[in-house]
Chain A
Amino acid sequence: MERSHLHRQLVLARQTLFDQGYLDEQFIQLEELQDDANPNFVEEVVTLHYRDSARLIYNIEQALEKTALDFNKLDSYMHQFKGSSSSIGAKKVKAECTLFREYCRAGNGEGCMRSFQQLKKEYATLKRKLEAYFQLARQVGPIDTASRPK
């Protein structure tokens, strides 16, 4: 009873992430890749992404602190970051990346700063939400993780 309740909660949490536009189909892809050989594949990938992207965020922060912004460099960093974000299907973050790069191309430093702040916010929010989601998933147990689409 308790367990099925948790399970329902998990399904709901997952669905909310999609409904609120935090995640896209790539996340489902990851879930599809999860199998007996890698029962925690999704979580592993997400963790890896956050570990790696922290370095990129730091790079971008440094680059933005410069008085004369190097937009090429910023664009290149953001390209990397966007690629990484696409790996877990971080939809909102990705959208911010795109915006940031547009500002880069337009040479709009102000816009870059603003979108980067927004990006960090989305990035952190998603991280929090995903952590909560995985926590819940662990409670539900490995047998039936999120309803894996066939």
Chain B
Amino acid sequence: MMENGFSSPRSEAFPAGLRVLVVDDDPTWLKILEKMLKKCSYEVTTCGLARDALNLLRERKDGYDIVISDVNMPDMDGFKLLEHVGLEMDLPVIMMSVDGETSRVMKGVQHGACDYLLKPIRMKELRNIWQHVFRKKILEVRDIESLEGIETIQMSRNLSDLSDDGQLLCGDDVVSLKKRKDVEKKHDDKEVAENSSAKKARVVWSVDLHQKFVRAVNQIGFDKVGPKKILDLMNVPRLTRENVASHLQKYRLYLSRLQKENDIKSSVGVIKHSESPIRDAAGSIGIQNMINMQHNDVPKNTYGFLCHAKIVQSVNPRGSEFDRKGIGSIPASESKHTQTIDGTELCKPRSSQKEFGHFLKPWEPGVNLAACDRTFMSRGSWCAIPEIQMKQEHNPSCLDDGLKELPIPGQRLQMKADFIQQALPIDSGICTKERDVSGTETTKPLYEHRSNVSHVSKLGFTVNSSLLQAKTCIESNQAIGSISANPPSGKKSEFNLGCMTKLEPVPKDIKWGACLTSLDNDYKRNANLVSSSDSGINSSQSQTSAFMPNYMDNEPISSQAPSMKNQGFNLNCFADLESSQRCVDWGAPLFGASSDDLQVSWIQDDCYAMNLGLQNIDFSEYRDPALIGEVPVHLYDALKFDHVNSSDPTEYCVIDQSLFIA
């Protein structure tokens, strides 16, 4: 039959005629791969040296659709080639090696490989490679759409995604997360290692220059855009075509990442929607807000920080699903059991945190990467500790409230969510150079407590099948994700004030009273701390109460959980603040009482203090326009966008009150 690969008709459907460049220093494999690919009706070019391959690619920029490269080559590391190809040609690259070590595969993927094949490579693996080309094309199309349609279209598209193919996107979550991580990691590495394009382009892309560039791109139209055209339009002396080309490349990458984030975001939305009809309403309100905001404030495609939130959220569900399985074997909890669960879970949040770190980094391209890195690192250890604390605090509180029926694991799930979010605010704080960050950050956990606390005191939701809880937990993870992740970015001080004034009437004290009665000592201490803290906290307090209803309303069950967890965390925050002497006046005096807890928190001091230090000290740096120049404008926009979302204080406020009355 049609054994002959050479005679593949060019008119055939898409995968046929795919132009593949194979790079391998092993002539035997080169021969085999050539044959295999030809049998797939692909158009094959083989190359025994990485340098030759690079030259080929540079000569014929649009001459190939995909590159398959060996990892180990004498003249150039396959990873290096991969980097070059990703940066200069933006082609999908498949790595191959006889080595299946996880670390190596990971390295490949981190450097941007779209696939990693193990030798001996099978024909059927090659048959499918067209999908990488196809996927990339899809993403490119989306980029164009998103750029042309800017906010409104984008938004409405997302909305429709929610109802239509959102579920599908859901399933892809993990995959796309991974991919993004890789891409971003790749960027990191690039920034660390000397990177060819950076060397070529000695141009500093200042804000002005970048805006000129964006204007040019928009004027030409994203689909027709080319370095030469942009260069002509920008009309900047000394700027070369290469400079523009490489910047365009990065810009495209950046946009495609944004796009991916968006997809995830919408998929998260879907989860929420499908599971909770009530939240549906809330969710759409949120989205609407976003839209409005975008219109009012900044006419730009702005998902930077929101995306963070989304990432976090989508990480969470994954983690919690694992947990849920674990829970399955551990029946509704007695305190001993929970201890063991703790053990296993200790590591999980940490890992998700790490991932999270990766996600975040690329978002602050220009901003002090090293600094942020450090905070990530520290957070790894940091997030584990609160949990330990939790163990002590939580169990009793559960019992107190008659929640014995509630699977503690469920609560844990949420705890995780919280931590991650907590991390988030800090990061965004750091890289967005907001004034009040230190204050707001630390206070934030507090309110979460609080509103949670109020839940606890209500006891209304105690009876729940564990299954239900597990399910809702996932949801609420997300809910919380958006809620608590928002404040940090939106934490403009004006905004806080606004919230404060509006929400002041909310009966916080009553809440406190309630929680005090139903909770044990540790809890009380927290409560005290909170209530005696000054206006700084109050404002934030009211802010959360504004957010909380959002999910409280829908899932009292699950939202109750986070409350207890946060507690431990809060304490830490306070302690840290105190130690760093940076906190607003409230931290230190309040603390005297809870010395045991403090000890735990001290451990974390370093990291936390460091965070604070970053924010407070380095602010001026972050405001430095030169640095900011590197940060895509969108990030800023996203901030606003976020806080609007979270700010609908009046609406939520009402809900809140009614909740408490009920």
Inter-chain contact A83/B98, CB cutoff 8 Å: yes
A33-B35 contact in complex given A79-B98, A79-B99, A86-B120, C-beta closer than 8 Å? yes
How many Å lie between the Cα of A64 and that of B508 in the bound state? Answer: 77
Inter-chain contact A83/B119, CB cutoff 8 Å: yes
Inter-chain contact B31/A29, CB cutoff 8 Å: no
How many Å lie between the Cα of A45 and that of B35 in the bound state? Answer: 11
A35-B70 contact in complex given A84-B28, A84-B29, A87-B29, C-beta closer than 8 Å? no
How many Å lie between the Cα of A52 and that of B26 in the bound state? Answer: 8
In the assembled complex, B565 has its CB within 8 A of some CB on chain A: no
Inter-chain contact A48/B35, CB cutoff 8 Å: no
In the assembled complex, B3 has its CB within 8 A of some CB on chain A: yes
Inter-chain contact A45/B120, CB cutoff 8 Å: no
Of residues 3 through 37 on chain A, the ones whose CB sits less than 8 Å from some CB of chain B are 25-26, 29-30, 32-33, 35-37
Inter-chain contact A52/B28, CB cutoff 8 Å: yes
- The interface residues of chain A lying within 8 Å CB-to-CB of B26 are 52, 80, 83-84, 87
Number of interface residues of B (CB under 8 A): 23
Inter-chain contact B35/A41, CB cutoff 8 Å: yes
- The interface residues of chain A lying within 8 Å CB-to-CB of B513 are none
Nearest CB of chain A from residue B353's CB, rounded to whole Å: 31
Inter-chain contact A38/B35, CB cutoff 8 Å: yes
In the assembled complex, A82 has its CB within 8 A of some CB on chain B: yes
In the assembled complex, B277 has its CB within 8 A of some CB on chain A: no
Inter-chain contact B31/A32, CB cutoff 8 Å: no
How many Å lie between the Cα of A124 and that of B32 in the bound state? Answer: 22
How many Å lie between the Cα of A49 and that of B120 in the bound state? Answer: 14
In the assembled complex, B58 has its CB within 8 A of some CB on chain A: no
- The interface residues of chain B lying within 8 Å CB-to-CB of A87 are 26, 28-29, 32, 119-120
If over half of A's interface residues share one DSSP class (helix, strand or loop), that class is named, otherwise mixed; here it is helix
- The interface residues of chain A lying within 8 Å CB-to-CB of B4 are 35-37
How many Å lie between the Cα of A35 and that of B6 in the bound state? Answer: 11
Nearest CB of chain B from residue A71's CB, rounded to whole Å: 16
- The interface residues of chain A lying within 8 Å CB-to-CB of B39 are 33, 35
In the assembled complex, B27 has its CB within 8 A of some CB on chain A: yes
Nearest neighbor of A80 in chain B, beta-carbon distance:
B72
- The interface residues of chain B lying within 8 Å CB-to-CB of A86 are 98, 119-120
A37-B119 contact in complex given A80-B72, A83-B98, C-beta closer than 8 Å? no
Of residues 71 through 93 on chain A, the ones whose CB sits less than 8 Å from some CB of chain B are 76, 79-80, 82-84, 86-89
In the assembled complex, B463 has its CB within 8 A of some CB on chain A: no
A36-B3 contact in complex given A83-B119, A86-B120, C-beta closer than 8 Å? yes
Please pick, from A33, A82, A83, the residue contacting B36 in the complex, using a CB distance under 8 A.
Answer: A33
Nearest neighbor of A52 in chain B, beta-carbon distance:
B27
Inter-chain contact B72/A45, CB cutoff 8 Å: no
Inter-chain contact B5/A37, CB cutoff 8 Å: yes
- The interface residues of chain B lying within 8 Å CB-to-CB of A33 are 32, 35-36, 39, 123
How many Å lie between the Cα of A52 and that of B32 in the bound state? Answer: 14
Of residues 145 through 204 on chain B, the ones whose CB sits less than 8 Å from some CB of chain A are none
- The interface residues of chain A lying within 8 Å CB-to-CB of B98 are 79, 82-83, 86
Shortest 3 CB-CB contacts between residues of A and residues of B: A35-B3, A83-B98, A26-B120
Instruction: Give 19 pairs: A residue, B residue, CB < 8 Å, sorted on A.
Output: A25-B120, A35-B4, A37-B3, A37-B6, A38-B35, A45-B32, A48-B27, A52-B28, A76-B72, A79-B98, A79-B99, A83-B26, A83-B29, A83-B70, A83-B119, A87-B28, A87-B29, A87-B32, A87-B119
Interface positions of B (Cβ within 8 A of A): 3-6, 25-29, 31-32, 35-36, 39, 70, 72, 97-99, 119-120, 122-123
* Extra A-B contacts (4), CB below 8 Å, given A33-B123, A80-B25: A26-B120, A33-B32, A38-B35, A80-B26
